[in-house]
Chains A and B, each alone.
Chain A
Amino acid sequence: MGFTRREMLVTGGVGCAALANAWFSPANAAEKAEKDDTAEFVARQMGRAATESVRLHLTMPAVFPTGYTVPMDLKVDSPMTEDDHVKRISVFAPQNPLIDVASFNFVPRRSVPRVSTRIRLAKPQFVVAVAEMGDGTLLMAKTYVDVATNGCI
């Protein structure tokens, strides 16, 4: 990398100032208010509708100081038998410049539908998880995460 420490600090400082401006603008509040097109978003992404479910647990901090490494825990209540198992969990960050975050693939009777990782978020937003079950049904969960800095640069 061609960045010196000094350059990093200077560009970082400028970026923070710009973000602080965006932070206090009324547009931010408006964004938070409009919110709930999540169901529509999921239908568009997956090609069919998903039902919000208490079986799928998406756990993230409600407020986090940096958007670079936001912890994320995913868990589905499932016996993981051939008849009733989770095939895949896909995670989306609809307000990121690139909305796909990651997909986790599971195998019945071998893996447990539970993962933790760390993701980048560009701005405060709803993070959406969609679990694709063995029988093709889609389960959905979302959680609002308020990040103070843009993690997508």
Chain B
Amino acid sequence: MTTPTPRVLLPSGATKGEVFQVRTLISHQMETGLRHDKQGRVIPRKIINRFACRYGGVEVFSVDLHEAVSANPYIEFYLLAMESGRLEFLWEEDGGSIYRLEHQLAVA
């Protein structure tokens, strides 16, 4: 399996009080645990089970993902621009690995 690569697309700046769009994608197989290999053994579940977005250290949005989320989970959501600060994106995988990205947002 290739290493999951997270990607995020959002504006670099916003005006205070504005709603801005955040688009995130992580390349990930999202193995459901329902499939079998050629020997008939169950291929163990390995999915991204949680996604979170922190804005200035505060969690402002999160998702609990289950098996029925498609491979390469794409999540598009909307936040309110409050103050300039760091946006942190975290993807938690079964088994405890965490993939993260950061983004600086300037609010005028």
Interface string of A117-152 (1 = CB under 8 A from B): 111110000000000000000000000000000011
**With A100-B68, A103-B63 as contacts: A153 and B38 at CB distance below 8 Å:** no
In chain B, positions 49-81 with a C-beta closer than 8 Å to chain A are 55, 58-71, 73-80
Decide if A152 touches B61 in the complex (CB within 8 Å): no
- Residues on A facing B (Cβ under 8 Å): 1-2, 68-70, 80, 93, 96-107, 109-112, 114-121, 151-153
A-B contacts, 20 of them at CB < 8 A, read A68-B71, A69-B70, A80-B80, A98-B34, A101-B68, A104-B63, A104-B77, A105-B61, A111-B80, A112-B19, A112-B77, A112-B79, A115-B77, A116-B75, A117-B75, A118-B70, A120-B69, A152-B34, A152-B68, A153-B34
User: In the complex, what residues of A have CB within 8 A of residue B82's CB?
Assistant: 110
User: Are B59 and A119 in touch, CB under 8 angstroms?
Assistant: no
Name the contact of A120 in the complex, choosing from B37, B58, B68, B74 (C-beta under 8 A).
Answer: B68
Closest to A7 in B: B38
